[in-house]
Amino acid sequence: MHPLFNKKVCEVNVLNNFEIPFKGLSFGAHEYEFTINDSFFEAITYSEITQGQLICTILLENNPGMMQLEFTIRGTVKLICDRCVEEFDYPIECHEILIVKTGPETKEESDEVIIIAYNETKLLLWQYIYEFISLQVPYRKVHPDDENGNSTCNLEQIERIVKLSSTSDTDPRWDALRNIQLDND
């Protein structure tokens, strides 16, 4: 079992819905569409994202010994704002390409090229879809500004956070250390 699988959710094979059987697939272009929702993110144990509504369209170009997959992912994920600690919908839109070759063993050649064993019959794509979505999430997650450039964060919540962080009870033992005069000669 893959280490990112959430065992509880995997029992219902949520992530197994994100596969493409390619054995016997005719050469040429094929299109697939996958719906990504909360159950997808719940099935991944260490997912920073827990909710989202996205559509992943994959255009697969099947050639002898190689497949090219063009992923287009659009939708929104729920994130927690780092500034006001409230949820907001963050738009995701990405376009990625993955090259799949066949070889004696399954391995990753680079970020864009993987090799699958000759005896494989299907492509498991959930991990790539998850990675593509995760790479779109910014390091600093804050509500987007409105059309006038003003923050859309919850101002009441920010005021509460500022008030709580500004009132600090200090330990009198540490206060006594501030009175020590150090000779810097």
The pLDDT tens digits of the residues spanning 162-174 come to 777 776 566 667 7
Total Cβ atoms within 10 A of residue 52: 20
Give the span between the Cα atoms of 66 and 115, in whole angstroms.
9
Residue 132 tokens read as 């593509």
Per-residue model confidence as pLDDT tens digits over 70-121: 999 999 999 999 888 899 999 999 999 999 998 888 888 888 999 998 888 9
Confidence bin at 185 (pLDDT 50/70/90): low
Backbone φ and ψ for 95, nearest 5 degrees, come out as: -135, 120
Q: What is the DSSP string of 94-162?
A: EEEEEEEEEESS-EE-SSSEEEEETT--EEE-HHHHHHHHHTTS-SS--PPP-TTS---S-HHHHHHHH
pLDDT exceeds 60 at position 11: no
pLDDT exceeds 60 at position 9: no
How large is the average pLDDT for residues 141-167? 80
Burial of 32 (0-12, 13-18, 19+ CB in 10 A): middle
- Cα Rg for the chain, rounded, in angstroms? 24
Which uninterrupted H or E stretch holds 9? Answer: helix 7-10
Confidence bin at 53 (pLDDT 50/70/90): very high
Give the span between the Cα atoms of 56 and 18, in whole angstroms.
10
Q: What is the DSSP string of 28-43?
A: EEEEEEEEE-HHHHHT
